[in-house]
Amino acid sequence: MNAIIFGLIGTAVTLFLGKTFLALEYDQLLFSVLIANVLCFSSLIVVLQAEAHPQLKKLLVSIAHAWALFWLVFISGILITCSWMRDVKTMLVLWIPLFFSGAFSALVFGPVQDRIVWARQRRSMHR
């Protein structure tokens, strides 16, 4: 339920700020919201997979390191896919609302994470 609320708020704020203060088109803003959701999901998968590998797990010794990896994937993806986000003002105004709009990806990530963890546990039982 929280994911839906945060996703709706983030999307509404993104559309409002982008149209009102940045004069971006709705298609650009909606594409940004879509990309934010794809990147939030991808970032979560990257962090989950990194925590499964012993070499990478050493680098993710704290929650702050995991968040740093998440943000690295998320911000890099935004900058690569949305050329209008390369403007400093646009990035400063929209990165938090876009992050919140990416909460919709949590609805999909939960079952996917369960499936990945289940598969790992099943593999380790058969070894």
Q: Please, what is the angle between helix 63-81 and helix 26-52, to 10°?
A: 140
| pLDDT tier for residue 100 given thresholds of 50, 70 and 90 | very high
DSSP string, 81-94: H-GGGGSHHHHHHH
**Average pLDDT, whole number, for the chain?**
91
pLDDT at 56: 79
pLDDT tens digits for range 21-73: 999 999 999 999 999 999 999 999 999 888 888 877 777 777 888 899 999 99
pTM over 0.85: yes
Scanning the chain, the segments in alpha helix (DSSP H) are 2-20, 26-52, 54-59, 63-81, 88-101, 104-125
| pLDDT tier for residue 11 given thresholds of 50, 70 and 90 | very high
DSSP state of 121: H
Report the half-sphere exposure of 39 (CA within 13 A, side-chain side). 25
CB-CB contact of 26 with 15 (8 Å): yes
- The domains of the chain are located at 2-125
Could you give the CA distance from residue 17 to residue 56 in angstroms, rounded to a whole number? 38
Give me the phi and psi of 62, to 5 degrees please: -135, 170
